[in-house]
Amino acid sequence: MITYQDYEKAENKTKWLQSAIRTYRSSKEYKAAVQQEEYMAGRNVAILEFERIIYDMAGLPVLDFTKSNNKARCRTIHRLVTDRCSYSLGNGVSFASAEKKVAKDGSTRTVDKTKDLLGPRFDRELFKAAYWAQANGAAYEYVHKGHEKDVWEFNLFKKTEFLALYDEKTGALRGGVRFWSIEWGKRPITAILYTEEGYTRYETKPGKTGLVDLEQVEDTRPYVETVEISEAFGEEVTGAANFSTLPIFPLYSGENRSSALDSQKDLIDAYDLVLAGFANDINDIPQVYWLVSGGYMSEQDKRQFLDQLMLQHMAVVNGEDAKLQGFTQEIPYEARERCLARLRSQMYENFGGFDVHTVEAGATNDHIEAGYWPMDEEADAFEYEIIDFIQNILAMMGIEDTPIFKRNKVSNQKEQTEMIMMAADKLDEQTILEKLPWITVDEVDTILQRKDGESMARFEKMLAEQDTDEDDNLDEDTDDEEDGGEDEAE
C-alpha cells in the first residue's frame, strides 16, 4: 500500500513517482480493477480464457481441437450496476434550496441556484462516477474551474488510472497520481501528481516509453489562476491560489467499498460456462446417428456410407445379414434452462436488484413495491454515499445544500393515475402533475406555463368578445336614437 506519508518522506519525488506507479500497476488492487473493467464491458475473463482439453497417452493436457469452443457471455453485471445508478440518478438530482418563482406574466418556474452553479454536465458526470464507484468500489472526481469564468468542470478518475494517496492517520484522501498512455509500454506516458499545494506534470522523455524515463516538465501549479489578457503582454497570470481542500473527491460504493463484481463473479462464470456449453453441444452432438450391425465395413466403406447419406439422403449397406438402424439424440434442454434461470435469479438476489422479468402483466402496485424492497434498501445505502460526495464538493464551493433524488420505478401507471385523480379535488395542479408517474420533474414547469398561457389567451379572447358586444349594442342604440329623431321631425 502506498500512502501520502510515503510521498512526504521521499527525497527525490520523480524517482518516487516512477516507483509508485510501477508498484501500483503490479498490485492486486490494480489487477482487480482491470478485471472489473473487462467484465463491465462484457469481456468476461473466465469464459474468454476457457479452453477444452483432453489428456494424451502420457497423461499430459492438450487442447481438444475436435470440440467447439464458443464464447457465449452475459452482461448481467453491467445491467445490475446500470439499474442501481439509474434508479437513483436517472432523473438527475435537485436540491432542497430550489424555489418556485412567479414571473410577471403569471407563469411559474423552478429556480435551483445550486444546480445552476454546478452546471448542465453535473448530472451526467455524477452518473458516470456512481457507475464506476459500483464497478470498482471507488471512483474519484476532480473538480476545478474551467477556462470560462465561474464555470466548474468535472473529470472522472477511475482506479485503473489513478493512484489514491490516503493519510495513514486520518484515512483522508490527501493526494493522488493520475497516469495514462494510449498504448502502455509502446507509447509515451503522462502522469500528474495532485497534492493540496497544487499539481505537477510529468512526461516521458522524447522517444522514450518507460516509467524510468518520466521527468518533471513544469513547476507545481496552483489550482486557481487569475489570467489577464492585454494587447501589450497577451495572456498573463496575475494571481494564484488553492482551494481549501484537495479538489479530488472519492465516491464509494458503500461502507465496505467493495466492487459489484465481488459477489457476482462466480455466478457469472458459472452462467457463461453453462450457456457456452449449451451452444457447443448443439454443434458437437449429432442429432441423428446410424448403427450398422451384422456386417463388416472398412473405414473407406464408412466414409462412403456417410457421404451417400449427406449428399443423396440414402445409402445401401452390403451384406445379407447387415442391418441399419437410426437413433436420435436430444440435448438436455430443461436442466440447462433451469440452471440458467437459477443462476440469474441468484445474481439479482445477491445484488439486491429488481428483475423486471418477475413482474407479471397487470400486477398491482403493492406487488411491484414488494419486489422493489431489496433494491430500495441498497439504494438508501448508496444514496448516503452520494450525498456525502456531493456535499463535500459543495463545501469546497462554500455552499450548504442537500441533494434530492427522484427514483425511477416500474409501476402500474393506470392504477397510480386513478388514485391521484380521485384526490384531485383536494390537491393543487402542481402537486397533481408532480405525482403523476408518466410526467417527469422537468416537464411540470413547462406544462404549468402552457396552462397559464392558455388561460390568459382565453381571458383575453373573452374580453375582446365583450368589447365587441358592447360596441354592437352601442351602435344599435345610436341607430335607434337617429330613427326616433326622424319620426319626431315628420
Q: What are 310-341's pLDDT values in tens digits? A: 677 677 776 666 777 777 767 777 888 899 99
C-alpha cell at 215: 521527468
**Is 365 domain-assigned?**
no
Q: What's the whole-number mean pLDDT along residues 446-450?
A: 77
> How far is the CA of 110 from the CAs of 96, 328, 346, 441, in angstroms?
12, 70, 43, 10
Region 287-296: what's the mean pLDDT? 70
Q: What percent of the chain has pLDDT over 90?
A: 46
Q: Which residue, chain included where needed, has cell 326622424?
A: 486
What per-residue confidence (pLDDT) applies to 485?
55
Strands 224-230 and 234-241, by their bridges, are antiparallel
Position 61 confidence tier, pLDDT thresholds 50, 70, 90: confident
State whether 144 and 13 are in the same domain. Answer: yes
| 301: in domain | yes
| pLDDT 10s digits, 359-411 | 665 566 666 677 788 888 999 999 999 999 999 999 999 999 999 998 887 65
Give how many domains the chain has, as a whole number: 3
**CB of 96 closer than 8 Å to CB of 402:** yes
Residue 356 lies in a domain: no
* pLDDT for 304: 81
Banded pLDDT at 267 (limits 50, 70, 90): very high
Q: How far apart are CA 267 and CA 44, in angstroms?
A: 12
For residues 21 and 85, state if they share a domain: yes
- Shared domain for 50 and 156, answered yes or no, is yes
On whether both 19 and 159 belong to a single domain, the answer is yes
Exposure of 168 by Cβ count < 10 A (0-12 exposed, 13-18 middle, 19+ buried)?
A: exposed
C-alpha cell at position 109: 418556474
Do 165 and 41 sit in the same domain of this protein? Answer: yes
pLDDT digits (tens, 9 = 90+) for 457-473: 776 777 777 767 666 66
Specify whether 139 is located in the same domain as 189. Answer: yes
Which range, 52-61, 312-321, 446-455, is most confident?
52-61
Residue 327, CA atoms < 13 Å, CB-side half-sphere: 8
State the residue range of the domain holding 63: 4-252
Whether 57 and 166 share a structural domain: yes
Model confidence over 68-125: pLDDT tens digits? Answer: 788 889 999 999 999 999 999 998 999 999 887 776 666 667 788 999 999 989 999 9
* Structural domain includes residue 138: yes
Beta strands, E only, 260-394: 288-293, 323-328
Q: Residue 490: which pLDDT band, with cuts at 50, 70 and 90?
A: very low
Domain boundary among 330, 355, 389: 330
Per-residue model confidence (pLDDT) at position 332: 75
Q: Does residue 412 carry a pLDDT above 60?
A: no
Sequence-ordered alpha helix ranges (H) in 69-153:
76-89, 113-118, 122-136
Residues 108 and 196 in one domain: yes
Distance CA 162, CA 191 (A): 9
- Interhelix angle for 365-397 vs 76-89, to 10°? 70
Residues 6+ positions from 112 with CB-CB distance below 8 Å: 94, 95, 97, 98
Residue 407 in any domain: the answer is: no
pLDDT band at 241 (very low <50, low <70, confident <90, very high): confident
52 and 154 share one domain: yes
User: 200, 232, 252 — which closes off a domain?
Assistant: 252
Q: Which of 330, 346, 361 is the last residue of a domain?
A: 330
202 and 61 inside one domain: yes
Provide the pLDDT for residue 45: 93
Share of the chain above pLDDT 70, in %: 80
Asked whether the beta carbons of 250 and 173 are under 8 A apart, the reply is: yes
- 443 touches 392 (CB < 8 A): no
Kindly state the cell numbers that stand for 401: 445544500
Is 345 part of any domain? no
pLDDT at 374: 87
Location of C-alpha cell 454546478: 118
Q: Running DSSP on this structure, what letter comes out for residue 464?
A: H
Are residue 301 and residue 446 in the same domain, yes or no? Answer: no
Q: Which of 66-80, 212-226, 372-386, 439-453 has the lowest mean pLDDT?
A: 439-453
Side-by-side strand order, sheet with 190-195:
162-166, 173-180, 190-195, 198-204, 214-216
The answer as to whether 261 is a domain residue is no
Each residue's pLDDT tens digit, 124-155: 999 999 999 999 999 999 998 866 567 889 99
Task: Judge whether 176 lies within some domain.
Answer: yes
Look up residue 360 and give its DSSP letter: P
- Residue the block writes with cell 500500500: 1
> CB atoms < 10 A from the CB of 174, how many?
22
Task: Using pLDDT thresholds of 50, 70 and 90, give the confidence band for residue 179.
Answer: very high
Question: CA-CA-CA-CA torsion for 244, 245, 246, 247, nearest 10 degrees?
Answer: -70
- 110 and 205 both lie in a single domain: yes
